[in-house]
C-alpha cells in the first residue's frame, strides 16, 4: 500500500530536552519602564471592538497563578510553538512568533496565509527565548500556552508584559486546542468568537466520526523514530493523540502509564508490542525515512505493518505541519487529509491504496 510519513514536532523530544537543559537568564535584565508594556504609534495589532469592548479587565488562570489583562491588547507576542494560529484565527496578527519547523515564511503554513496577509511578524528563536528581543518588541500581551515555559521564564516574561502560561491541568505541550483557543479568546476580548470556532470545528470531528463508525474504540498509537533508530510514542495527552481521540480512537493505557505524566515515552524493541495496534501512525524525527524504519526486523514483523495498518506522513509534509500545529486553522486540513488514510488503515486490508497528500507550494504565493 502507499504510505505517508510525518515529522513529529510539537515540539520534538530534542527541542523539549534543549528547553529542559538550558540555562535561564538570572533575573538581571535591564528592562526600562518603557519596554514593560507599551503601545506606540507603530502598533500593528488591532484592538477588539464590539464583543471585546466590555471584556476588560480580564483575568486568566494558569500553571503559575493568574494574569490580568487590563485593556484590549494591541501588540501580541506568541512564544508557544505554533501558537500564532490561535490569535490569527480570532483576527489578531502577532508582532512576533516563535520559530518552529518547516521553514515557512513567518512560520506560517498555507492554512493561515489568508489570516496573516502581508504581515511579517518577527521570529523568536526555537530553543531558547531571547528575553531582550521580546522586551524590545514592547508587547502588551505574551501568549505561551504551548511554550512549556518554566516558572522562571514566566517571572521574567511577566516583567515585560502580562504573560499567559500553560494550564496546570495538562502536561506541558498537552493543552487541548479548545482550551488554548478559549484562553486566547478571553485574553483578546474575543471569547464569543472563540466559542463559535470551537463549535464549528468540533462539528467537523463529529461529522468524521459519524461517517466512520469503525474508528470508535479502535486502538491507535502515534509513534516516532529518530535517525539513530530510537522509537517512542506519544501519550493520550499529546495533541496528535488528542486528534485521534476526537475521531474516536483510543491510545493504549499502557503507553500513558509508561510515560508517567509526560507527553512522550521511549519504546524499546522489547516493547514493540505496544506499537502493534489497530492503527499505527509513524512520525519521523530527524532524517530516518520509511526504508530505515522498516529495516528494523522486529518492527517489520508487527501485525500492523504486515497488514498495512501503519500510516506514514512524509518529512516536512503539509500534513505533518497540520498535525504538529494542531490549531483551529490547521485542524480542518488535518481532518480532510488524515481521515481517508485512517479509514484505509483500520480496514486491515494491505491492498487498499492510500491517496497521496495534496502538495502545496514551498513558498507563499
> Tens digits of per-residue pLDDT, 90-148?
999 999 999 887 666 666 788 888 999 899 999 999 888 899 999 999 999 999 999 99
Confidence of residue 5 (pLDDT cuts 50, 70, 90): very low
Q: What domains are defined for the chain?
A: 56-189 (3.40.50.1980), 213-346 (3.40.50.1980)
Q: How many Cβ atoms are within 10 Å of 365's Cβ, its own excluded?
A: 6
Confidence of residue 352 (pLDDT cuts 50, 70, 90): low
- pLDDT for 52 equals 58
What average pLDDT score do residues 317-324 get?
88
Residue 286 backbone zone (phi > 0: left; psi -120 to 50: alpha; other: beta): left
Query: Element (H or E) spanning 192, and its range?
Result: helix 191-211
Least confident of 51-55, 113-117, 247-251, 315-319: 51-55
Q: Is the Cα torsion angle 202, 359, 233, 126 positive or negative in sign?
A: negative
Confidence of residue 229 (pLDDT cuts 50, 70, 90): confident
Confidence of residue 38 (pLDDT cuts 50, 70, 90): very low
pLDDT at 45 over 70: no
pLDDT at 10 over 70: no
- pLDDT for 141 equals 98
- pLDDT for 70 equals 95
Least confident of 25-29, 163-167, 181-185: 25-29
How far is residue 223 from each of residues 90, 125, 284, measured CA to CA in Å?
32, 27, 8
Cα–Cα distance between 51 and 221 in angstroms, integer?
Answer: 41
- pLDDT for 20 equals 37
What average pLDDT score do residues 190-218 get?
97
Amino acid at each position: 500500500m502507499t504510505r505517508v510519513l510525518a515529522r513529529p514536532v510539537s515540539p520534538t523530544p530534542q527541542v523539549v530536552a534543549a528547553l529542559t537543559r538550558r540555562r535561564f537568564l538570572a533575573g538581571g535584565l535591564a528592562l526600562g519602564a518603557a519596554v514593560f508594556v507599551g503601545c506606540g504609534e507603530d502598533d500593528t495589532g488591532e484592538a477588539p471592538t464590539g464583543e471585546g469592548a466590555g471584556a476588560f479587565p480580564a483575568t486568566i488562570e494558569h500553571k503559575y497563578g493568574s494574569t490580568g489583562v487590563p485593556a484590549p491588547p494591541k501588540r501580541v507576542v506568541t512564544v508557544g510553538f505554533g501558537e500564532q494560529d490561535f490569535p490569527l484565527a480570532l483576527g489578531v496578527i502577532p508582532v512576533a512568533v516563535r520559530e518552529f519547523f518547516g521553514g515557512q515564511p513567518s512560520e506560517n503554513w498555507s492554512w493561515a496565509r489568508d489570516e496573516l496577509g502581508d504581515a511579517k511578524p518577527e521570529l523568536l528563536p526555537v530553543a531558547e527565548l531571547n528575553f531582550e528581543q521580546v522586551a524590545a518588541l514592547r508587547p502588551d500581551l505574551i501568549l505561551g500556552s504551548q511554550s512549556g515555559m518554566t516558572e522562571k521564564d514566566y517571572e521574567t516574561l511577566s516583567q515585560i508584559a502580562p504573560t499567559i502560561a500553560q494550564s496546570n491541568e495538562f502536561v506541558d505541550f498537552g493543552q487541548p486546542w479548545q482550551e488554548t483557543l478559549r484562553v486566547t479568546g478571553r485574553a483578546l476580548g474575543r471569547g464569543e468568537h472563540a466559542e463559535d470556532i470551537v463549535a464549528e470545528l468540533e462539528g467537523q470531528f463529529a461529522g468524521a466520526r459519524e461517517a466512520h463508525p469503525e474508528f470508535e474504540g479502535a486502538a491507535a498509537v502515534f509513534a516516532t523514530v529518530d535517525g539513530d533508530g530510537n522509537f517512542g510514542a506519544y501519550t493520550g495527552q499529546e495533541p496528535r493523540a488528542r486528534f485521534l481521540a476526537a475521531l474516536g480512537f483510543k491510545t493504549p493505557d499502557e503507553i500513558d502509564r509508561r510515560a508517567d505524566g509526560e507527553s512522550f515515552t521511549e519504546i524499546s524493541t522489547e516493547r514493540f508490542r505496544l506499537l502493534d495496534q489497530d492503527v499505527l501512525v509513524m512520525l519521523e524525527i530527524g532524517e530516518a525515512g520509511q526504508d530505515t524504519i522498516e529495516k528494523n526486523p522486529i518492527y517489520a514483523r508487527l501485525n500492523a505493518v504486515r497488514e498495512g495498518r501503519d500510516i506514514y506522513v512524509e518529512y516536512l509534509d503539509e500534513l505533518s505541519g497540520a498535525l504538529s500545529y494542531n490549531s483551529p486553522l490547521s485542524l480542518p486540513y488535518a481532518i480532510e487529509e488524515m481521515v481517508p488514510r485512517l479509514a484505509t488503515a483500520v480496514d486491515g486490508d494491505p491492498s487498499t491504496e492510500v491517496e497521496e497528500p495534496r502538495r502545496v507550494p514551498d513558498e507563499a504565493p
